[in-house]
Structure formats: structure tokens, C-alpha cells
Chains A and B, each alone.
Chain A
Amino acid sequence: MKGPASRLLAVLLAVCMLVSLSGCWNYSEIDDMSIVAGVALDTNKADNNIQMTVEMVDTQGGLQDNETGFKILSLSGDTIFNIARSMISITGRKLFWSHAKVIIISEELAREGLIKVIDWYSRDTETRADVFIFISGEQNARQVLDLNSTKKTIISFELAQMMRDEKFTGTAPVVEIWDFIDKLETPGKNAIAPLINISEVNGQKNERVAGAAVFVGDRMVGKLDGKETQFTLFAKNDIKGGVLTVDNERGIPTYSLEILSSRTKVKPVWTGGKLQLQVSTLTHTGLDEVMSTVDLNGKESIQAIEERASADLQEQILAVIRKVQREYQADIFGFGKAVHDDMPQIWHGIEKRWPQEFKELDIKVTSKVVIQSTAKSSRTIKLGD
């Protein structure tokens, strides 16, 4: 076959192949999917299984409304995947998980053990591992998502935005699922997750993220409040911003230091036959608020404030570490990994009894706070009568 006939055949073949091969095997329209924004998981006491609440983005909102609509759906079942698929019988469409941003788990479920609910999320190909994980301090996790009916916004996206800005307050850890699983699997590290509560102010309910839940293995064993969490983050080298309040000489909180940057070094040291961990923090701050009119010299000079802040921080960090050691025996600070990294031989010896060792570990904390600037004004506001 030579000549124009074969050329024509070749072109025809090419066009056919272009049309049929360069597509996908099947396709799905957006109208046929329900996009999931966030998930809440609770225990269902009545049937002794799991209840999953899903917040979905409503794609039928139309172009006139400025806000995106949303829907909420709750279902219970034995396994997570089972529930996810059973939702089709209610929504009429398959759920689309790739845009989910948030997982909220109730405290009860967390105390029972998280692996059974997390495995599906990390294994499935449609779900993404960069969702934020929360533990709900309320009675169940569903209540947090239910807030969207009073607030008229999609709670999950709001929570995700809150997590992105969390570094400016530093009172709750920002934990994505892959990070959580990583800490579960690493020997010498225990996981924490931020707590969500609902606070009611002037009759308006708002969700509030503050504090952390402490895990041993995959079970939740305790809570830390907002302030304690801040110091925990100091010990973990996870502080990127936030505020430190310092008292004046008489013990009244007067100064606010804005944390510009902070670095923590953890060094294990073998002294006198015992393991000692030296935690040293260096924090650069700016003096952002002086709630009095005193001059910034003498007992209230920058130097003095720095020293007071350093001593204060040191004490608080040590207090939090001791509290976690005593009450929860959970190495959420990653001290075990630090020992593993720097002294592998010793780690191999004590790895098996690390929770016990951690409980009696000797910790030394040294903090240094440096005040780099005093923002715009060089002195306090003076009352000139």
C-alpha cells in the first residue's frame, strides 16, 4: 500500500487514536459527587459502633448566592469505609474526599484508640494525608460541625484557616494526619493533637481551638490547657509566634512580649550514671505592650524584663515537662528520639523501658529571652499633667 491511500489511512488511524486514547477510562461530573469538607467521628453508644458526621459543600447553591452552601449528614456503621459508602444511599451521590480539610474526633473515641479510625484515612488513595486532626472536648465531635447552621459558614474551612494562622498564637499544636501517624510509629515520640471546644459568648457560639490532648500509643490519656500547651511547644521547638506575658516586680502582669522566633535545642547527657536531658531555648521577642507608666530603667529596665521573662519561661517549661512526666508518662517532647539520635548505644539499652525511664528523667531547662525591639515607641506613655 503506497501513495495517498496509505497516508489517508494513517491520518484516520491517528485521529481515531487521539480521540479514544487520550482520555480517561471513565469520567465523573462534579454534579455527581458530594465534596466533603470535614469529618467528625463519634462513638455510638446505642449500637456500639462508630458514628460519622460529614460536612459537605453544596454545589447546588447557584451563582447568585455569594456564600457556598453546605450540608451535614450523620450515619453510623461498623467500619469507616462502610459508613462512607453507605452515605450514597442517603445523598444519592458518591462522596469526594480529596478536598476534605479537617477531621474531628470525639474524646471518647480518642480514649479508646485511634488506629481503627485513622487507618482507612491514610490508606485510601482518594483521601489526602494533609488534613488537620482535632480532638473535640465537647460531648461529641458532631456538635462542632453542627455549628455551621448557626454561623452559616463551612466550619471545616474555617478551622483549616484557623490552623494556618495558629502560629501567631501558639496555644495549640498544628497536627496533620501524616504527622500524627509518624509520631505514632516513631519509637521515642508520643503524639499530641489540638483540642476544640465550643465557647458561648453573648449567646453566640464559637469554636475555640486551645490546648492539646496527650496520647500514649494511640489512646488519649490526658489534656493540657492553652498555656501549658504553649510551653510544651517551646520544649518541642514548634513555636513560631505568640505572646509571652511578663510580670513586673510586684508580680502583676504588665508586659507583653511578642515572640519573633524561638529555637530549642535538646541535648542528652550522661552524667553520674544517669541520663540527663538539657533543654535550652533561645527566644527573640519584641516588647509590644507596657501596661503601666513606669520608666523603662532600673528595676524595670529592658534587662530586668528579659531576665524575669527568662526565669519565668524556664520555670514554666520545667513545670509542664514534670507534669507530663508524672501524670501521663508520655514522651510528647521527642526526648526519646533525641537520645536515639545522639546516643544510639544507650538508647538500645533503655528503649524497651522508655516510659518508665521518661518518668524519672532528669531535666534541666535553661531559657534565654532576648528583647530585640520595643516596637514603635522608645518609652512608655507618660502622664503629663
Chain B
Amino acid sequence: MGKEIIPAGQSISIVILFIIGSSLFMGTSGESGNSSWIALILAVLLTLPLMLIYARLHVLFPGKNLYDMLIAVFGGFIGRLFCCLYIWYTLHLGSLVLRNYGEFSKTVALTSTPMLAPMLIVGLLCIWAVNAGMEVVGRSAKFLLLFTLAVIVVVQLLSIPKFEYQHLQPLLDSGWGPVFQDMAGTFTFPFAEIVVFLGAFTVLPRKGSAVRVLISGVVIAGVIIIGVSVRNLLVLGPEILSSLYFPSYVAVSRINIGDFLTRIEGSSAIIFVTSLFIKVSLCLYVACQGIARVFKLESYRSVVLQTGLIMVCMADFIYKDITQMQYFAYHIYKIYALPFQVFIPLLLWITAEIMAHRSTGREEDVQ
């Protein structure tokens, strides 16, 4: 297959939907209570320098994706090792996200359906989309983003009568400590997960466009997540918020306009599925690209079906129940994900800069 290139607008849609992915319904870590919006703003600010580093990598290695970069910089053996780590990370992330969806549908919507059923259907859809190619994912992302934004805005407007502004008071009640903890948690999940997009850098149109794509994607997604979190906080209040698995669902269920427009929380679950679909598709695409690069396959399309099926199966047994999932997502993940999101890319960047420096120095010597 020839090169797949998708225009910048579609890349930005993918980035936005990827980041808001499961945070739309799972919420973010809530240890700082009513100051969680401060933690969110700080997390977005913290992500921006990381995005600049990722974008720089795109400039240093035009037309290559994460795996090519790792092999080029670290050589055959160690590079391949890092690649395997990233294959595992994206596979794991995809299963995590699928499991989020499965738990959501089992807890709230379809209680008698075994969890594997909705996960399998969404998984098959993602396999099909990735097999069709990144252009398909890009186009659907653009369309789905418009739809998701429309629904989010409508729901925000409808819940305004239920806002209680005293839930935001008092400011910084628990002090700065929990706010920083929350900031670290939100930084790794969901913002810095965009490291997965590094594996798909080959689809970006031209040399410098990574900056625009990443920064605008992160900022817009940050605004959406802050809006949704603040809405949850205003409607529910910090105490109830801390006891719920799916705060957005309960917040939307409170909407009651003239006794006519009520119980719309089921319909608002649709946006969960759309952003989830893009997130899992991207994880699947990057994982398959990784396998293709490491084992020198002709095309990633050969392994899409199998990797997808592995992802779905893994999603089923990766946790025993929802409490384990909650614990992992909010306490373990922020430490486990750091090497993949921060350390290895930093190492890659520094080594790449040194190499680029040395090679330009040698060119000057030769001349």
C-alpha cells in the first residue's frame, strides 16, 4: 500500500477524540475535591512542553514513526527492545480502554449482557476501520468529533439549571498537595497518552505540522475535559463525586427540563462510544505498526485481525472487577505509564539531538 497521508484537520480530530476518550465518562482523579479544575488546568500546561518535544521529534525524523526513530537512534537490538515495550504499552492501553467501556455498559446500561459482547462488537469495528487504513479513521474522526462536540454542548446547556455554585467553594480547601497529586494523575491519564500518536506520525502531511496538530489537539481536548469536569462538580458536589464510578452519567441523569426532557443519560452515552472507537483504533493501529516494524513484515494489515482479537480477549481477563480497574487507573497507572510517556521519549529526543548535532558538525568538517 502506498503512503497514507491524512490532512491536519483530521489528525487534530483524532488527537482530540483520543484524549477525551474515556475521561468523558470515567472522570479524572478526584482527590482534590472541588479544586480539581485547578489540577486540570495545571495538567494541560504541563503537557504542552511534552508536546513540543514530540513535535521536535517529527522534525528530526521526517516521515518516520516512533518505531523507525527508536531503531534508527538506538540501533537494531536495543531499538527493537524499546519497540516491543511500546507494542505492549499500546496493546495494554487498548485493552484498558475497552474494559472501561465493558464495565460501563455492564454496570449502567446493559446489566444482563456479558461484558464480552459489547467489547467484541466495538473491537471488530475498530479492526475493520484500521484494516481499511488510517484515512478511514481520520475521516470518521472528523465527522464524529463534530457530533460529539454538538452533544457535549447541548448537555452542558441543559444542565445549567442544576448548577450549584457553592460546590466550588471554598477554594483550595484541601491545600496544594492533593492538587499536585491530581495534576500528576491527570497528566498521565489521559493527556500524555498521546505518545501513542507518535507511532502514527507517518500519516502527518508535511514536515512541521506535528506542532500544530499536537498543541491544538491538547488544548481543545483540555478545554472539553475541564468543561465536563466542572459541570460534574457543579451538579453533584465533591462528596458525591468521590463515591461514583461514572460521575458524568449520574450528573446527566439529574437533568430535568420541564419534566419533559429527562432521563437522557442513555443517549449521552453515545459520545462515550464514539471517542472510545477512535482511541482503540489508534492503539490498534500503532500496535500493528510496531509488530510490522519489529518483525519486518510487509504491511501492518496482515496482523490487524489477530492483534485486535488479542486486545479484546485481554480486555476480558485483565481485571477481575471494577474495583481493581478503578485502583489501577487512578493509583498505579500514573507511575507505570511515566517511562513510556516521558522517559523514553526524552531519551530519544536527547540522543537524536546529539546525533543530529554531530552529523551537521561532520558535514561542516568535510566541507
Q: Do A and B bind each other?
A: yes
Residues of A with Cβ closer than 8 Å to B?
Answer: 21, 24-26, 125, 128-130, 178, 181-182, 185-186, 337, 340-342, 344, 347
Within 8 Å CB of A125, what residues of B?
107-108, 111
Most chain A C-beta atoms within 10 Å of own C-beta, residue among B114, B239, B256: B239
B105-120 CB contacts (< 8 Å) to partner A: 107-108, 110-114, 117
Chain A residues with Cβ below 8 Å from B239 are 182, 185-186
A337-B166, A340-B170 as given contacts; A178 in contact with B110, CB under 8 Å: no
Pairwise interchain contact B121-A21, C-beta atoms closer than 8 A: yes
Q: Does B173 make an interface contact (CB < 8 A)? A: yes
Chain A residues with CB under 8 A of B117? 25
**Smallest beta-carbon distance B293→chain A, Å:** 31
By a CB distance below 8 angstroms, the chain B residues around A24 are 110, 113
Q: Mark B168-202, 1 if CB is under 8 A from A, else 0.
A: 01100100000000000000000000000000000
- Contact between A344 and B110, CB atoms less than 8 A apart: no
Give the CA-CA distance A185 to B239 in the complex, in Å: 7
Q: Does B237 contact A (CB under 8 A)?
A: yes
Q: List 23 A-B contacts (CB under 8 A).
A: A21-B121, A24-B113, A25-B112, A25-B114, A25-B117, A129-B250, A130-B256, A178-B240, A178-B254, A181-B240, A182-B237, A182-B239, A182-B240, A185-B240, A186-B237, A186-B239, A340-B169, A340-B170, A340-B173, A341-B169, A344-B170, A344-B173, A347-B170
- Min CB distance A361 to B, Å, is 19
CB proximity of B56 to chain A, nearest CB, Å: 43
Compute how far the CA of A301 lies from the CA of B307 in the bound complex, rounded to whole angstroms. Answer: 85
**Extra inter-chain contacts (5) besides given A129-B253, A347-B170, CB under 8 Å:** A21-B121, A130-B254, A182-B240, A340-B169, A342-B169
Interface residues of B in 301-337 (CB under 8 A from A): none
B239: nearest chain-A partner, CB-CB:
A185
Complex CA–CA separation, A125 to B107 (angstroms): 8
Are B113 and A25 interface neighbours, CB within 8 A?
Answer: yes
Bound together, the chains give a CA A100 to CA B19 distance in angstroms of 39
Bound-complex Cα distance A341 to B173 (A): 9
Question: Across the interface, which residues of B come within 8 angstroms of A347, CB to CB?
Answer: 170
A185 to B242: give the CA distance in the assembly, Å: 11
Contact B170 A341 (CB under 8 A): yes
Bound: A128/B117 CA distance, A: 26
Q: Which of A25, A130, A341 makes the CB contact (< 8 A) with B110? A: A25
- Bound-state CA distance A185–B111 (Å) is 28
In the assembled complex, which residues on chain B have CB atoms less than 8 Å from the CB atom of A186?
237, 239
The minimal Cβ–Cβ distance linking A265 to chain B, given in whole angstroms, is 12
The list of the 8 closest CB pairs from A to B, nearest first, reads A341-B169, A25-B113, A185-B239, A344-B170, A341-B170, A26-B112, A25-B112, A186-B239
